[in-house]
Copies of this chain bind each other. A is one copy, B any other.
Amino acid sequence: MNQQKLSTQSEGLSRRQWLKGAGVLASCATMANLGNVLPHAHAATTGNMEQWPWPYVKLDPTTTAELAYREWYRIYCGGAVISSVFTQLREKVGEPYTSFPIDAFMFLEGGCASWGTLCGSNAGACIVANLILGPRLLDEEAMGHRISTEILEWYCNASMPVFKPKQPRIKGEIPKTIAESPLCHVSVGKWMAISEKPINSPERKDRCARTAASVSYRLVELLNSWKEDEFEFMEEGNFSPLSDHGINAQPNCAECHGGGVPEAPEMRKPKA
């Protein structure tokens, strides 16, 4: 697997522990920068699955990836990633995983009901991370948010599919491509261009099943490193594309804006 270096901070405060103290300030600063205000209390009774983090035990990445590969052939990419993690946690932990409606997320297939937007594997991974770790509203470390961005960035740069199952339906090697995008259309399109296989070919399907497996593997690596207090943060304050582009964006502007990237209106400075 394309391993990210994980540092073990055994002496002194870990970055995560440090952030437990500094996080409130950091969050306030971020929120102030974006000018966000949170004046409204929750409109109704808080759901009983809205206690975070959800209990998590470390999972085996290979086992998880094999499950995702298998589940792809039942409920496709997004559902497969969610199922690969949650079916294990249903057995090892129980609630709230037992109740969570995994199969409803089948629609993530094909970048949301075949619209080619966010790759369902990425969407599924973000859902898992945020369900387990909770929203950044309540988690001053914004860990679910950060793991989401980590997954998307890793996906953009990975030679995909990274993971090869023990008993693949398509024997032997299949082409690998680097999407440079978290989008289904771009990721699958680049692979189809290299492989010259159509969308409904067994090879394309197996490529996407292996991609879901690859994302599940990486997701569990990140969740395990969070559980072990070994998560290596990206640069503080650099976990949102907003600061680089002045607009919600993915990194490869030129891919779509071939004829020149429009300049975003200048962001307003936060009040002193």
The residues of A with any CB-CB pair to B shorter than 8 Å are 33-40, 42-45, 47-50, 52, 67, 70-71, 73-75, 79, 83, 87-88, 90-91, 96-107, 110-118, 122-123, 126-127, 129-131, 134-138, 144-145, 148-149, 152, 182-185, 188-189, 192-193, 196-202, 205, 239-242, 246-250, 255-256, 258-259, 262, 264-268
How many copies of the polypeptide does the oligomer hold?
Answer: 2
Which 6 pairs, one residue from A and one from B, show the smallest C-beta to C-beta distance?
A106-B135, A110-B248, A116-B248, A44-B87, A49-B101, A256-B256
Which residues on B sit within 8 Å (CB–CB) of A199? 242, 246-248, 264-265, 267
Is A202 in contact with B43, judged by CB distance below 8 angstroms? no
Complex CA–CA separation, A105 to B126 (angstroms): 9
Q: Assuming A37-B73, A193-B262, A240-B114, is B47 touching A100 (CB within 8 A)?
A: yes
| 8 Å CB contact of A107 from B87, B144, B188 | B144
Is A185 in contact with B98, judged by CB distance below 8 angstroms? no
Is B106 in contact with A198, judged by CB distance below 8 angstroms? no
Is A198 in contact with B265, judged by CB distance below 8 angstroms? yes
Which residues on B sit within 8 Å (CB–CB) of A268? 198, 200-201
Which residues on B sit within 8 Å (CB–CB) of A100? 47, 49
Which residues on B sit within 8 Å (CB–CB) of A122? 112
Is B182 in contact with A115, judged by CB distance below 8 angstroms? yes
Complex CA–CA separation, A267 to B198 (angstroms): 5
Q: List 26 A-B contacts (CB under 8 A).
A: A33-B200, A36-B73, A40-B73, A43-B83, A43-B87, A47-B90, A47-B98, A49-B101, A50-B104, A75-B137, A103-B138, A105-B130, A107-B135, A107-B136, A110-B242, A111-B118, A113-B126, A115-B241, A115-B249, A189-B262, A198-B246, A199-B246, A200-B267, A200-B268, A255-B256, A258-B258
